[in-house]
Amino acid sequence: MSIEIRPLTTPDEVNAGFGVFLRAMVGLPFRDLDAGELTEPGRYLGAVEAGQVVASADSYTSWLVVPGGARVPHAAVTHVGVLPTHRRRGIVSDLLARQLRDVAGRGEVVASLRASEAVIYERFGYGVASSAQSARVRLRRAVLRPEVPPGGAVRLVDGAVTTDLLDGIYSRAAWTGAIRRPEGWWRLEQRLREADSVTSYVVVHSTDGADDGYAIYRPENTGSWFGSPEKVVTVGDFVALDDNARTGLWRHLLSLDLVDVVAFTALAVDDPLPLAVTDRRAVELGGAHDETWLRLVDVEAALRARTFADEEAVVIEVTDAVLPANQGSYEVGPKSVSRTTAAPDLTVDVATLAATYLGGTSWRHLAAVGRVDVHTPQAVRRADALFAVDAQPFAGTVF
């Protein structure tokens, strides 16, 4: 039978699309949710066969902070899935290509997603642009150095947690890689907290009376808490708008009574926490893993939106099999970006360019494994200098 790819418009269709996503992901816990609460009208696409939704792909309206601090229009892609009976028929390929065309039509400069499988999305132009790592801090050994700033005031807001409070803080995020957390994301987080049988605790940090950070944490294995040889608290969301908020929240978490380990689910790969304690082995870092899979939907607009370091310009030729309007050469310099007919110094596909865009992947490493065609000696060095950033990109948001 023929398959039609189109927006899912009715509540029944939207819930059917979300059901396909849950079935495809197999192990996700939330089953009793109205998907209409989590989605935006017109953004949920489905592949429909004989009236049945057999695949789906959703996105949220968002922004992404790029090097230099600009926020560019961003599509947060999520809820991608296909029924196991309809795999390997090219349905997801058609669905994601349609989604990218729709995103481009909305004027969104970039798209990003979190990948359940690492071998799917590169062929659609997505590249790994940021990574994250977990950490476990053993409190008996984790003593903050005396020179670590004291931070500000920390208050408990348990029982008074609202999306307005938390998003009022998070919405000012300015670090490279941060994205806007859409309303559907906040609704899901609140529903999950309300449904959880284990209490989560929320603390808010403020400096001179202005809220500038928060942390949400919960105890693990509460059934055997008092008899456990290792009592663990997991920090699921840690937001600090500046260094002062970060150290103030550290001081709270590292001073919790009856706790042996504070575990962070996700930190930037260059997070300074190990440098803040007298015994850095008290902070056990997990391996880095891919976080942001980024797609440049409008290459020229994306390149123009970020800043570049002071270095001689390079001409980068870009190929894009899904969005051919991006194909061409771009002269990238510290002051300007423009299309050009000049001979390229480097040639890459759009996924490889996306991997370098936030500064999280070096041109040198990509060239070393054959993902960059180098036409001009020293062009890789110049590109690395141009795309260099002071801090590694990090989103800190799973969607």
Single out the residue of 103, 88, 6 nearest to residue 49, CA to CA: 6
- Beta strand 328-332 with 337-340 is antiparallel
CA 58/CA 76 separation, integer angstroms: 8
CA 98/CA 110 separation, integer angstroms: 15
The amino acid sitting at 270 is: D
CA 168/CA 175 separation, integer angstroms: 16
Strands (DSSP E) along 259-381, which ranges?
Answer: 261-268, 283-285, 289-296, 314-319, 328-332, 337-340, 346-349, 373-374
- What is the separation of C-alpha 204 from the centre of its chain, rounded to a whole number of angstroms? 22
Q: Reply yes or no on whether 121 is catalytic.
A: yes
The amino acid sitting at 229 is: P
Q: Which of 60, 121, 126, 308 is catalytic?
A: 121
Q: Which of 18, 126, 238, 399 is catalytic?
A: 399
CA 80/CA 154 separation, integer angstroms: 39
CA 71/CA 65 separation, integer angstroms: 5
User: 228 to each of 28, 75, 218, 222, 273, how far by Cα in Å?
Assistant: 28, 44, 16, 9, 26
Instruction: Count CB-CB contacts under 10 A for residue 29.
Output: 7
End-to-end CA distance of the chain: 33
Single out the residue of 22, 114, 150, 152 nearest to residue 396, CA to CA: 114
- Give yes or no for a contact between 58 and 77, defined as CB atoms under 8 angstroms apart: yes
CA 273/CA 320 separation, integer angstroms: 39
Contacts of 172 (CB under 8 A, 6+ apart): 212, 241
Q: Reply yes or no on whether 399 is catalytic.
A: yes
Tokens 């307005």 belong to residue: 164
The catalytic site residues sit at: 121, 399
